[in-house]
Amino acid sequence: MSNTKIKSFAKQTLGCQCPEEVFDFIDCQRDIELSNQILLTNKINIGNRLLIYIVETDDINFIKINLLAILQFGVKERDSKTFNRIRFVIATNTQIQW
């Protein structure tokens, strides 16, 4: 994913209102293993202020079982690295019914 696409995604899709200078630094990592069962599709660091966790899955049971753990990993990383914000994205083609 290019930095231009990441910036557009953060601003337009996620509603990020960070100042422009925050987007001078963007680090996007793929296939980040949080545990034996949880793999992030992408982890994005924007300006060391905004952290984005992206999980792509069509397995609703995976989300039901692992959502809390994903949130806990993200909040722990946000806090330990003193990010201002974190956003979680679950990308799926499946209609989710809880």
- What tens digit of pLDDT does each residue of 21-55 get? 999 999 999 999 998 889 999 999 999 999 999 99
Q: Where in the sequence is the domain holding 62, given as residue range(s)?
A: 3-91
Q: In this structure, is residue 98 part of a structural domain?
A: no
Residue 97 in any domain: the answer is no
**Partners of 43 in the beta sheet?**
29, 53
Q: How many domains would you assign to the chain? A: 1
Q: Residue 58 domain-assigned?
A: yes
Confidence of residue 92 (pLDDT cuts 50, 70, 90): confident
Query: Given the structure tokens 């599709």, which residue do they identify?
Result: 41
What's the CA gap between 15 and 77, in Å, rounded? 21
